[in-house]
Amino acid sequence: MKYEYSQVLLKYIYLALVVFFILSPFIFILYRSFTYRTYWGILFVGLKFYSEIPQTYWRALVNSLIVGLLVSVVDFIIAFPAAFVLARYEFKYKRILAALLVAPMFTPDIVAGVGLASTYIRYYGLYATFLGTLLGLASTSYPMMLLPLFASLRTLDPIYEDVAKTLGARPYQVVIKVILPLIGPGIFSGFVLTFVWCLNNYLLPLFITGPAIDLLAVKLYSDIRWWGLLGRVAAEASVLQIATFIMVLLYLKFAGAKYQGGFAL
């Protein structure tokens, strides 16, 4: 009995240490956003620093949310056909094609940023444009949508599609009314991964957005670079992290548990 109690205690201690290690950077930033160091010690200032966040920051937050949502949609449109082909068909050089499709995930953002900026400026005229930002982020983040879709399609029994075709469903009806509902968890996982990545990425947009488009992570990077970890900057960083946590919690609340076995349209 004592041995089992010790085991349980060690598990909880280990879990607490892991959680603390993961959350400690955010806890420090959040603590900094509510406090101010003076000659006499630490002073709690409440929401003072949050009230000092400029309107341009909130505008950048809205821009980032819109861009993240649109990039997720574009990634889904790009990744779904590729994931379906890789999951359903066997052909020569399939592994090479799969490696090429996921290569952007392993490309450093600085390399992708320099390449995209050069291409945009020389050939397409998309530098510092909303469309260029959207396509640039989509071109590097779509593997995050591709892999969950591929995993879901690979485990989906093709018999469901065959039955639907036997009952007279057309190809687009099979996709919309059979395949997409059954791979719901993969779709939601891909959307969350892509959205959170777009919301938090600053290095790639730094090369392709220019001064005309404000994105949250880029603006936060600029503020930290020029002002250091001031109280207001810590509040800005906390807002970014809280927005990310909210997205993950919404996914776990409305998608992660509810759609474990797919969802019905």
- How would you write the pLDDT of the chain (265 residues) with one tens digit per residue? 566 667 777 888 888 888 788 878 888 888 888 888 777 777 787 888 888 888 888 888 889 889 999 999 999 999 999 999 998 888 888 888 888 888 888 888 888 888 888 888 888 888 888 888 999 999 999 899 999 999 889 888 888 888 888 888 888 888 888 888 888 888 888 888 899 899 888 888 888 887 778 888 888 888 888 877 777 888 888 888 888 888 777 777 765 554 444 433 3
Same domain, 70 and 102: yes
Same domain, 40 and 57: no
Same domain, 194 and 75: yes
Same domain, 114 and 26: no
**CATH number of 237's domain:** 1.10.3720.10
Same domain, 190 and 113: yes
- From the CB of residue 65, how many other CB atoms can be counted at a distance below 10 Å? 16
Assigned domain for 80 exists: yes
Same domain, 130 and 204: yes
Same domain, 102 and 34: no
Assigned domain for 264 exists: no
Q: What is the largest CA-CA distance in the chain?
A: 79
The tally of domains found in the chain comes to 2
The phi, psi pair for 108, rounded to 5°, reads -55, 140
Assigned domain for 84 exists: yes
Same domain, 31 and 99: no
CA–CA separation, 118 and 123 (whole Å): 8
Same domain, 136 and 7: no
CA–CA separation, 91 and 131 (whole Å): 35
Assigned domain for 261 exists: no
**Domain carrying residue 226:** 53-256
Assigned domain for 166 exists: yes
Same domain, 140 and 164: yes
- The predicted structure's pLDDT at residue 212: 73
Please tell me the pTM assigned to this model.
0.82
Same domain, 135 and 223: yes
- The predicted structure's pLDDT at residue 222: 84
Sorted by sequence, the CB contacts under 8 Å of residue 76 that are 6+ apart come out as 145, 149, 187, 190, 191
Same domain, 37 and 136: no
Assigned domain for 25 exists: yes
Assigned domain for 262 exists: no
Q: Is the dihedral of CA 251, 238, 236, 200 positive or negative?
A: negative
Point out the domain boundary residue: 11, 26, 44. Answer: 44
- The predicted structure's pLDDT at residue 145: 92
